[in-house]
Structure 1
Amino acid sequence: MGSSPAFAAGARAGDGAAVSAAEDPCGSQCRDILPAGQNGHASLVEILLHKAVGTRPKHSADQLAPYDKLLHEYSGLSDEKLSDYFNDASFGVPEDQVESVKKPRADVTITRDKATGTPHIKGTTRSGTEFGAGYAAGQDRLWLIDVLRHVGRGELSSFAGGAEGNRQLEQSLWATAPYTEDDLQRQVERIRGSGERGAQAYQDIQDYVSGINAFIDDTVGALNYPGEYVLTGHGSKIKDFTATDVVAIASVIGAIFGNGGGGEVGNALAKLAFEKQYGKAGGEKAYTAWRAQNDTGATTTAHGKEFPYAQSPRNPRGVATPESGSVTAFDHSQNEEGTGSAAKKKPGKGDGVKSKGVLPGDLITSKKGMSNALLVSGKHTASGNPVAVFGPQTGYYSPQIMMVQELDGPGLRSRGASFPGLSFYVELGRGLDYSWSATSASQDITDTFAVDLCEESGAEPTTESQSYMLRGKCTPFEKLSKHNEWKPTLADGTKAGSYDVVSLRSAYGLVSHTGKVDGKPVAFTALRSTYHHDADSVIGFQKFNDPSAITSARSFQRAAQDIGYTFNWFYADTHHTAYYNSGDNPVRSKNTDPDQPIRADKSYEWKDWDAEANTSAVTPPAEHPQSVDQGYFVNWNNKQARGYSAGWANGPVHRGDLLDSRVAALVKDGSVTRAKLVQAMEEAAAVDLRAEKVLPELLDVIGSSEVTDPELADTVKQLRDWKESGSQRREAAKDDGKYEHAEAARVLDAWWPLLVEGQFKPALGDELYKSLTSLAPINESPSGGQNGGGDSGGGVGASQPHKGSSLQTGWWSFVQKDLRSVQGEDVGSPLDRPYCGGGSLEKCRTMLLTTLSEAAATPAEKTYPGDDECEPGDQVCADSIVHRAMGGITVPRIAWQNRPTYQQVVEFPARR
């Protein structure tokens, strides 16, 4: 459809007024949802009432029920019924839907709607609009914004208590993005000096923090003062926010969602373990096969075209291989005094938990399964307009770690989700006549360098030395340290204590490990291309919110090029869809290996690298995976494109396949609608990836001969019935308390770690098996258990229960490829040898039946041992999603479903 004056970028409704469906290019076809709810604010009285009688502040959990019930009702979905499960994301608020109106200053109005309490911020000036965005952020997330700025400064335990989770989180941030106040200020000034848009972004941030501070002034001493401050002993003391707080928060969000690479030391140790097990030549061959940087069977988001990046060269230069047994991880926790936990297990529940923090301790370190996207080109839809269902899968919290708002002011027209403390722009949402979203891409932008250690005195260096060689000179590491002290906290059982969070910084990045290379002591340092540049991406986000900047799919891709974080960006308007992979991908020295540690020498550095500014040449936009108007796009953190190096275990079985197969089928049938695309997403959200994609191969091997044991034959039949019925982990009806194929799901949960170990450990050996499982967790089940050996078998973060996002990391590709090889099938990118049964189909089958029998006999209480939420053996509860309380208000559990936490459903029938 053509343009209309009614859709002009400058068209505005009155204060708080809705833009009519005729004026809004989305025509009431834009919807979104943010569980549990928009409101993350609670006074002390509201928190105490919640704990005493279960009441909750308005809009703190009102989006939970519609989000949850889609799982049980999606099969009958129609476009007309989408309103039962998603909120209206049209611009403005109809007069009869206005809940409240606030004018924090004369040039801005914050209108909240009755349905969700979302702030619709309309400014007559740009400064007023940004001021209003800050004020609204304070209203909805002040406590959480304060928590995040303390995380970003390595000061969380001093602020929120010495719970183990708080200390773990600030240490992991300090390992990734430690900054001094001068570092933070330099990032602010860099924004300010980045041309006209940078100067505008600087002013936007100043106005935004002024709005937050105005809310603080209004709430201190008032009845609506956030109760968390009182409960944590802060009273009415809230320090004013500054622009450097915004950078500190950006460093946290970037470390969680926009990072990639940096695992080279672990890769090197795994390669050494392969060589120890199979010899030099055999070990190298095996490592390359298992590493599978470019597995030919992997589903890619960009179809067809190859985008080579970060592949290991045939004959690498400058590799710094650590000596086996010499490597020690750097300890970021020092001088601990009086720390500890007095947490006790609850009667009748599980084994208790270590003292929790206000945020998960592994929020940064755990493998992220963030977000998914499904887009279909207009040539395959019923309307002829593109359709998109997409959103970030940022975890389940109360209050949510994202918040929704509408911005309407000069140069700003958007509605969608933003991170608290960064909501001066909408980061994921809709513009005037387009919508966009992102998934974490995690391509490799972090390299590990080995710096030679030295002593300034000239003495013989050791791995404890505090200086390193830089351009021929012995140079002290810069020690970045924060001293944290905290008082006893009855809520989590911690004692009073203190400690220092410490990082060592070199020109080549942050020290992650020490060890020896060729007999000499070295420090291994992680150099991230976006370090010291966490706030630079603000320019791209500014453009996303500017209707004059985003006028086409191509202009959106150009805006995404200004974002240094590693994200896959998706776009839809009335005519076009687009995809672009962002990130500051460094141009590496020729024939250096990004998969292994590199010697810290000028000849191996990134092209045009400036150590002081940490800038270098980056790959040009044309070399980033991208496409416009491809028939369809799907991404669930899977491989971006052929030739684009992927992480461990990204092969022919990936949860992205669950989306790809379903959307491809819709496109083949044609006439795709919003409802059909939502159904594809939700069906995939309920599927057990192992059951749909790997169980068929397991059953084929077992079915190569008759199963004579009656009980085992019945177990096999149950597994086959589950697979043929759709492989879902879903109750027959909401709150039924039991899965439709409960026994089959229980058996597979218990079987998976047993069969993986039985399939691979005999040939890999204990040491190599342990090394591989530390890099590529064998399992990420919905319940968070069954990892096959704790941290060594589950990998960091793989055992986290009740998190929702599941089935991204696991050995499903390894298992599937090996079983196909054992059956004599052609396998693209095969492993180095057949493993199951030593390559014997009969012995492989025997192992599978033996481990299956063991799994079938395993009590549910062992498979689902129970915890503070669930009784032992309760399968549905073990899988269920628990919104982690980050404030004083909790919300009910919901059924497991593997889907975004903020999600849009969009189709634009018109343009501006």
Structure 2
Amino acid sequence: MPRRTPRNALYRPRTPRRFHGFLKTASLCVLITGLLSPLSPASAADAPSATQAAETRAVEAAAADHCGGQCSEILPPGQNGNATLAQILLNQAFGTQPAHAEDQLGPYANLATGHPALTDGTINSFFDESSFGVPAGQVASTVRPAGRTDVTIVRDKKRGVPHITGTTRYGTEFGAGYAAAQDRLWLMDLFRHVGRGELTSFAGGAPANQGLEQQFWRSAPYTEAELEAQIASAAAKSGERGQQALADVDAYVAGINAYIDTSDQARNFPGEYVLTGHKDAITNAGTIEHFRPADLVALASVIGSLFGSGGGGEVDNALSLLAAQEKYGVAAGTEVWESFRQRDDPEAVRTVRDGSFPYLPAPQNPQGRALPDAGSVTAQPLVYDRTGSAAAASGQPARAAVSTARRGMSNALVVSGDHTASGHPIAVFGPQTGYFAPQLLMLQEIQGPGLSARGASFAGLSMYVELGRGQDYAWSATTSGQDIIDTYAVELCQDDHHYLYRGTCVPMELVERKNAWKPTVADSTAAGSYTMRVWRTRYGPVEYRATVGGKKVAYTSLRSSFLHEADSIIGFQMLNDPDYVKGPQDFQRAVRHINYTFNWFYADSEHTAYYNSGDNPVRADGVDADFPVWARPEREWRDWDPAGNTAAYTPASAHPASADQDYYVSWNNKVARGYSTASWGTGSVHRGNLLDDRVRELVAQGGVTRASLVRAMADAGLTDLRAEDVLPELLKVIDTAPVTDPAAATAVDRLRAWLSAGGKRTETSAGAKKYAHADAIRVLDAWWPLLVRAEFEPGLGTGLYTAFTRNLPVDEAPSAAHGPTGGHAGSAFQYGWWSFVDKDLRAVLGETVRGPLARTYCGGGAVGACRGALLTTLKEAAGRTAAQVYPGDDACAAGDQWCADAIIHRTLGGIKHAPIAWQNRPTYQQVVEFPSHR
């Protein structure tokens, strides 16, 4: 079971009492008066003349905007992700917020209770209009970064979003880098160190910091030379666009460094640099290191690992298959395993509903499988030579906050103009990147030669808008999760660090990172150190050791995007180019250049479109990508070249794609018929059903509006999936006979009333911090893990049941800190045994089940016995107190149900924010409807 995620992951501020102590010192009293700064600190030389400001307005006006005021966006908590030392101290002592640090949090949170009455006219009470430019009366500041005359950064009064306008390409990208550093310098610095496995040396040895650097560096253990080479390598493939990308990166990095120099001179740099010992608040001694292009690759490796690298898990698959075969025999065990795996479940909701896109089906006669011998698998150690506070660590460090973002992200609702009131397509979509302070994403508008877009980008990678809108089109993405990672069994020779490569015994490559830390103001963790070691082979880094048929092997992880973290830059460049994207076909061609595993969605005034991106390697004939395979030439990816990790990839025609489907929905559900993803659980019940049911009903009624589509999204985002789609089957079984036990009868009545009311986790009133139907919610939260175990463990046996729970967690309720997303993370109901329970209960009831489980489990298939198991566990759940179901953590008292569900922004810097009520929706979200087209 994963350990509870600490709320303050990278930055651990003192209690308010401790900060009051700091504030009493004379030196910090001076700092409070001297270091408080506006959102966009700039030197006097940066201020433009009246003529320059007029020129800026003229350039902004030249950018065509076909949104007509019908494009909106939101990204909590706020645009300002940099805070001075004084602002951090005041926030921790008194709760005050820097300007624009959390002014998008309230509107975002209020949609949970405000959506039922939403109209097109009130959308911007919960979102912000995302038209191009800033009206003259709404300009908060105008900056010529570093005194340049070819770029201007204008920030609006309402949210402080940077609107970057350049007359040259270099100046535009320079401004983008400067604005990124203004808003996220500390966060960018953190993540370039995370990507290099050097976070603890930079920010302190807190357990979460250790977990973060270990998680990401293990999957991308690059040498510095490899980081430096990747942008040039990506550019070399793309001719003039590649050369332009190189120039854009250089200009962007120069802009970042110009801000570092400016803020250092003005002494208004982020206060975290003082609190972690990199700068002296009094003397200004110390340095903030300049950025280099290689830093962007390190950043990209983290983001790609979080959101765009589907696959892995082959060793766990092998272990559960072996457990199934041990339980049932080889043939029957394989059948049982495949029924739980649900590679292509016919009842699954799909984003692309027409056509078939076969990818990684189960081969009839698998070749080259390398299944481990029973009990032989051990994880490859990563950490060595612990000293000091690191030596006291037991097992794995606490799970890092950002690791929770990988699972559970993003949704999209896109409706064709054939079904809208206006006749124009409508989209409500965005990525769910988790809730952090400051946010991983940042907003911007960028206008310059070959660039015209507004939206969100990952901090430090914002040379282009990555998710947003152009002049007459908008786009967004969700994680698709198709498998681009394979596990190879490399046979060892000579010793544990040599292996057979194409018949020759060769040495593994050892890559090391040594980290040492000492206590800082921000992190009191005692001094310590450790070394991380990754053994690399041509088939990827070693993750496990085992024996296969008695032979010693190392299981390695080969990812198609390894050494190619920067390759997607060309696709994003195209999306920002108004001369390139003029329709859905251009959009699809652009996102083909993105090598990460995403679902991409598009809308303009006439068309909608979808495309699934990613470098999907072509496997050798007979290879089953769900399991480890022998590292032998005949089992390698087709045309694989280990020197650059390139291979033959499936063609664009094999990727799921579509245009002008009546509607699209995506919530990380199944992509298309025949298209296998690495994820378990894409079966008959998935959170994608919550969207599909609502949008399908809207489309059937016709006259869809922006407001009605937002309402559908918000309604789905407040609904308990288990209640809407599984509880009816549970009650059917229970209702086959009268319930005579008073406690069970009361619980059934409460659950039935909640279901009749919609099965939502909503407050009794705005700000009440108490749920309607609180007792029913408590009962279901307690009942679900009990009923799943009672339903399946007797039939599967403890060994196989446990193995399957490693493939797919049983539960992911909002309050389930033990689940794959962790507590207070917003995202919920993506990973769970919903489909297994649904299919099994329908089979017990004698109903038709397409793609059934290979066996019937509840009560051994007898309705009466199944009912008895359900009632027994229901009565046990009903008897559990709120304090038992919601045990409390560092943010919530035991028994506080609302707080247990609440979204809390995990601190990556010094500023904290108050919790908000749970809702299951994208972090950055757009609402768009274009009335016209170029």
Is 1:400 the counterpart of 2:431? The answer is: no
Q: Deviations over 1:388-407 (max 9, x none)?
A: 00001000011111000000
Gap change, CA 1:255 and 1:395, over 3 Å in 2: same
| 1:177-228: CA deviation from partner (whole Å, max 9, x where unpaired) | 1100111122122133231101100110000000000000001142422100
Q: What does residue 47 of structure 2 align with?
A: none
Q: Would the aligned equivalents of 1:17 and 1:94 in 2 still touch at CA under 8 Å? A: no
Secondary structure of the 1:862 match is helix
CA deviations on 1:851-886 (whole Å, 9 max, x unpaired) are 000000001101000111111101011000000111
**Is 1:854 aligned to 2:876, yes or no?**
yes
Aligned match of 1:473: 504
Query: Residue 226 in 1 paired to residue 270 in 2?
Result: yes
Choose from 814, 817, 835 the match for 1:813.
835
Q: What does residue range 640-789 of structure 1 map to in structure 2 within 5 Å?
A: 640-646=671-677, 647-785=679-817
1:135 corresponding residue in structure 2: 178
Secondary structure of residue in 2 paired with 1:466:
strand
Counterpart secondary structure, 1:731: coil
Q: Does 1:145 align with 2:167?
A: no
2:222 partner SS: coil
Shift of 1:13: 9.3
The answer to whether the aligner puts 1:186 opposite 2:229 as a matched pair is yes
Contact 2:306–2:406 at 8 Å: present in 1 too? Answer: no
1:348-359 matches, cutoff 5 A = none
Q: Secondary structure at the match of 1:250?
A: helix
- Alpha-carbon contact 1:18-1:93 (below 8 Å) kept: no
Equivalent of 1:71 in 89, 112, 120: 112
Out of 833, 857, 864, which is 1:835 matched to? 857
Q: Secondary structure at the match of 1:301?
A: strand
Higher mean C-alpha deviation, range 13-22 or range 133-142? 13-22
What residue in structure 2 maps to residue 39 of structure 1? 80
Which letter maps to 2:753? D
Change (3 A) 1:772 1:515: same
Q: What's 1:421 paired with?
A: 460
Question: Aligned pair 1:451/2:451, yes or no?
Answer: no
1:505 pairs, out of 520, 536, 552, with 536
For residue 202 of structure 1, the aligned residue among 226, 246, 263 is: 246
Give the direction of change, closer, same or farther, for the CA distance of 1:22–1:507 in structure 2 (3 Å limit).
Answer: closer
Tell me the distance in 2 between the aligned counterparts of 1:802 and 1:14.
Answer: 46
Instruction: Give the alignment partner of residue 312 of structure 1, picking from 340, 349, 362.
Output: 362
The farther-off stretch of 115-124 and 494-503 is 494-503
Greater mean alpha carbon deviation, residues 426-435 or residues 193-202: 193-202
Quick one: structure 1 residues 365 and 516, their matched pair in 2 at CA, closer, same or farther if it must change by over 3 Å? farther
Superposition TM-score, scaled by structure 2 size: 0.92
Query: In the superposition, relative to structure 1, how do residues 520 and 250 fare at CA in structure 2: closer, same or farther (>3 Å)?
Result: same
Q: 1-side partners of 2:875 and 2:182: how far apart?
A: 56
User: CA offsets, 1:763-817, max 9 Å, x none?
Assistant: 11111111111110000110124x6xxxxxx5xx34x110001110000100111
Aligned to 1:249: 299
**Counterpart of 2:249 in structure 1: which amino acid?**
I
Task: Give the C-alpha shift of residue 711 in structure 1.
Answer: 2.8
Helix, strand or coil for the counterpart of 1:303? strand
Q: Which amino acid aligns with 2:202?
A: F
Structure 2 equivalent of residue 361 of structure 1:
400
SS of alignment partner, residue 797 of structure 2: helix
Counterpart code for 2:408: G
Q: Which string of whole-angstrom CA distances, capped at 9 and with x for unpartnered residues, describes residues 400-435 of structure 1?
A: 110000000000000000001100000000011100
Distance 1:764 1:818, change over 3 A: same
| CA displacement at 1:280 relative to structure 2 | 1.7
Distance in 1 between residues matched to 2:567 and 2:187, nearest whole Å: 23
1:115 aligns with 2:115: no
2:429 counterpart (390, 400, 403): 390
The alpha-carbon deviation at position 611 of structure 1 amounts to 1.0
- CA 1:548/1:256 → structure 2, altered by over 3 Å: closer, same or farther? same
Deviations 1:311-333 (A, max 9, x none): 12011111111101000111211
Distance in 1, matches of 2:521 and 2:183, equals 27
Q: Which residue, 575, 581, 584 being the options, matches 2:615? A: 584
1 CA distance for matches of 2:390 and 2:918?
33
3-state SS of paired residue (1:453): strand
- For the Cα contact (< 8 Å) 1:174–1:332, is it kept in 2? no
- 1:791 maps to which residue? none
Deviations along 1:653-707, whole A, 9 cap, x unmatched? 0000000000000000000000000000000010000000000000000001010
Local SS of the residue matching 1:304: strand
Among 420, 427, 433, the residue aligned to 2:472: 433
User: Which of these residues, 858, 873, 878, is aligned with residue 900 of structure 2?
Assistant: 878
- Residues 342-383 of structure 1: per-residue CA shift (max 9 Å, x gap): 99xxxxxxxxx9987xxx616347751110000000000000
**Structure 1 residues 22 and 596: CA distance shift in structure 2, 3 A:** closer
Displacement of 1:493 after TM fit? 4.1
Structure 1 pair 869/636, CA: closer, same or farther in 2 (3 Å)?
A: same
Question: What corresponds to 1:262 in structure 2?
Answer: 312
**8 Å CA contact 2:276, 2:521 repeated in 1:** no
Letter in 2 for 1:703: D
1:536 alignment partner in structure 2: 567
- Alignment deviations for residues 440-499 of structure 1 (CA, whole Å, 9 cap, x no partner): 1111001111000011xxxxx4xxx11111122111111111100100246444211111
Residue 862 of structure 1 aligns with an amino acid whose one-letter code is Q
The change in CA–CA distance for 1:623 and 1:55 in structure 2 (over 3 A counts) is same
Residue 842 of structure 1 aligns with an amino acid whose one-letter code is G
Question: Does residue 1:598 correspond to 2:663, yes or no?
Answer: no
Which residue of structure 2 aligns with residue 175 of structure 1?
218
8 Å CA contact 2:754, 2:773 repeated in 1 = yes
Query: Per the alignment, in what secondary structure is the counterpart of residue 781 of structure 1?
Result: coil
Distance in 2, matches of 1:374 and 1:636, equals: 9
- Can you give the 5+ residue segments of structure 2 that lack an aligned partner in the other structure? 1-52, 280-285
Contact 1:191/1:202 (<8 A) preserved: no
**Alpha carbons 1:17, 1:95 under 8 Å: kept:** no
CA RMSD after TM alignment: 1.7
CA distance in 1, matches of 2:841, 2:897: 28
Q: Which residue of 2 aligns with 1:87?
A: 128
Q: Which runs of 5+ in 1 are unaligned?
A: 1-11, 344-352, 456-460, 788-793
* Letter aligned with residue 486 of structure 1: W
Say which SS state the counterpart of residue 336 (structure 1) adopts.
strand
User: 1:18 & 1:737 partners in 2: Cα distance?
Assistant: 48
- CA–CA distance in 1 between the matches of 2:719 and 2:406? 20
Matching residue of 1:239: 289
Q: Distance in 1 between matches of 2:701 and 2:689?
A: 18
CA–CA distance in structure 2, aligned partners of residues 74 and 547 of structure 1:
34
Letter in 2 for 1:384: G
Which of 613, 622, 628 in structure 1 is aligned with 2:644?
613
Q: 2:558 aligns with which of 527, 530, 533?
A: 527
Query: In 1, Cα distance between the equivalents of 2:627 and 2:741?
Result: 49
CA distance in 2 between partners of 1:66 and 1:366 (Å): 22
| Residue of structure 2 in register with 1:293 after alignment | 343
Letter paired with 2:462: S
1:552-603 CA deviation, whole Å, 9 max, x = no partner?
A: 1011001010000000000000000000000000011011110111111101
Tell me the CA shift for residue 340 of structure 1: 4.7
1:376 paired to 2:415: yes
